[in-house]
Amino acid sequence: MVNDARVVRPWNRRWSSGAVYVSFLFFTFVVLLPVYWMVRSSLAPAADLIKVPLVYFPAPTLRNFVTLIEQVPFLDYVRNSVVFALATTLVTLVVSFLAAYAFARIRFPGSGIIMWTLVLSMALPDVGTIVPLYRILSSLRLLDTIAGITLVLSSALAPFTVWVLVSFIKQVPYEIEEAAIIDGASLLQIFVRILVPVTRPALVTMGLINFINAWNNLLYPLSFTTSPSSKTLSVSITEVFAGYSPWGKPWELIMAVGVTMTIPVVILVLFSQRAIVRGLTGGAIK
């Protein structure tokens, strides 16, 4: 009798798996609908955006992208975004990796406090740091430069990256490093030949997260850059305009910027999917 009660009847199993699939479908629909709407709006004539009844499948046109290129120095902004995102990713990873190694392997007085101070700094609202950062960049003569915003964002992203990498490096048995030292390896060789390959999933994941953060960041480029030689693509959202006045809101152009900003991220995520999953789950297993 007891065993019978535990048996899951086939119809019951089908029903529950069907419910799961329906839930997944619903969830996917909810997640993808805004994406569809963004793409659809970027390809629609402005007049079709606000028609009632809604136009779900407008005749596609690339005119919004052409207008976008005409209104803002689009190629300059794309180039700046690429340089900014790559540089931020690289600087953050290098600095954070070295810091994480120190926290994971070297015992020094106050290391715990420093680590937690670093982690707590993540709670600081970005906008609250703008004025002091402006002063620092001004005195370093890095205002209105890509180097300036790279420095600022790297410092903002480093705490989280360090936090994640510390747990990864701690999982690597120290005996491996000791063996390498006995074999005559330098610290640099230990980094390059042992630690980097072993922690690669975490590095790839954090690299990707940092790249996306930098690519999408609006606050720092908006606050610290002024000229087309340093502004990034995200700032163009605040610069596109409808007609020749400030009154209307050019949603079709804003959506075109949105699509342009989303495409590289989607491609990156698709190509690094496996590494991201390994990176995100790896640190959780002891």
The reply to whether 37 sits near other proteins by the rule CB under 8 A is no
The reply to whether 246 sits near other proteins by the rule CB under 8 A is yes
Toward other proteins, which CB reaches closer, 91 or 208? Answer: 91
The reply to whether 184 sits near other proteins by the rule CB under 8 A is yes
Q: Determine the interface stretch with other proteins among 18-26, 76-84, 240-248, 270-278 (rule: CB under 8 A).
A: 240-248
The reply to whether 47 sits near other proteins by the rule CB under 8 A is yes
Binding mask 150-179 for other proteins (x = CB under 8 A): ------------------------------
Toward other proteins, which CB reaches closer, 100 or 275? Answer: 100
Toward other proteins, which CB reaches closer, 63 or 79? Answer: 63
* Binding-site member from 39, 46, 82, 276 for other proteins (CB under 8 A): 46
Toward other proteins, which CB reaches closer, 133 or 164? Answer: 133
The reply to whether 68 sits near other proteins by the rule CB under 8 A is no
The reply to whether 58 sits near other proteins by the rule CB under 8 A is no
| Three-state helix/strand/coil letters over the chain | CHHHHHCCCHHHHHHHHHHHHHHHHHHHHHHHHHHHHHHHHHHCCHHHHCCCCCCCCCCCCCHHHHHHHHHCCHHHHHHHHHHHHHHHHHHHHHHHHHHHHHHHHCCCCCHHHHHHHHHHHHHCCHHHHHHHHHHHHHHCCCCCCHHHHHHHHHHHHHHHHHHHHHHHHHHCCHHHHHHHHHCCCCHHHHHHHHHHHHCHHHHHHHHHHHHHHHHHCCHHHHHHCCCCCCCCHHHHHHCCCCCCCCCCCCHHHHHHHHHHHHHHHHHHHHHCHHHHHHHHHHCCCC
The reply to whether 86 sits near other proteins by the rule CB under 8 A is no
Q: Which two tokens stand for residue 84?
A: 């900014």
Q: Which two tokens stand for residue 8?
A: 């899951």
Q: What is the total count of residues that contact other proteins (CB under 8 A)? A: 51
Cβ 112 to other proteins shortest distance, Å: 18
From 97, 47, 59, select the one nearest 248 (Cα to Cα): 47
The reply to whether 244 sits near other proteins by the rule CB under 8 A is yes
The reply to whether 59 sits near other proteins by the rule CB under 8 A is no
Q: Which residues bind other proteins (CB under 8 A)?
A: 45-47, 49-52, 71-72, 98, 102, 105-106, 127, 130-131, 133-135, 138-144, 184-188, 219, 222-223, 225-227, 235, 238-249, 251
